[in-house]
């Protein structure tokens, strides 16, 4: 897929950035995930983690 987008739109990335860690740093956690087309497409539902007690 990266090859296709490099060819068609000049994508320079070679791999996915560490987006799970970035979302976790924002206080989001996955609650549901489904993959399609052999893992090429993913659907993810995120939920905000409970904050500290006040």
Domain ranges for the chain, please list them: 18-49
Say what the pLDDT of residue 54 is.
Answer: 46
Say what the pLDDT of residue 23 is.
Answer: 92
Per-residue pLDDT reduced to its tens digit, 23-49? 999 999 999 999 999 988 999 999 998
Question: pTM for the whole thing?
Answer: 0.58
For residue 53, is pLDDT > 60?
no
For residue 4, is pLDDT > 50?
yes
Please write down the HEC assignment for all residues of 2-54.
HHHHHHHHCCCCCCCCCHHHHHHHCCEEEEEEEEEHHHCEEEEEEEECCCCCC
Say what the pLDDT of residue 51 is.
Answer: 67
Over residues 7-22, the mean pLDDT reads 87
């Amino acid at each position: 897929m990266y090859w296709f987008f490099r060819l068609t739109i000049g994508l320079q990335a070679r791999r996915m950035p560490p987006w799970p860690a970035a979302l976790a740093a924002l206080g989001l956690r996955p609650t549901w995930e489904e993959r399609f087309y052999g893992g090429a497409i993913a659907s993810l539902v995120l939920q905000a983690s409970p904050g500290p007690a006040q």
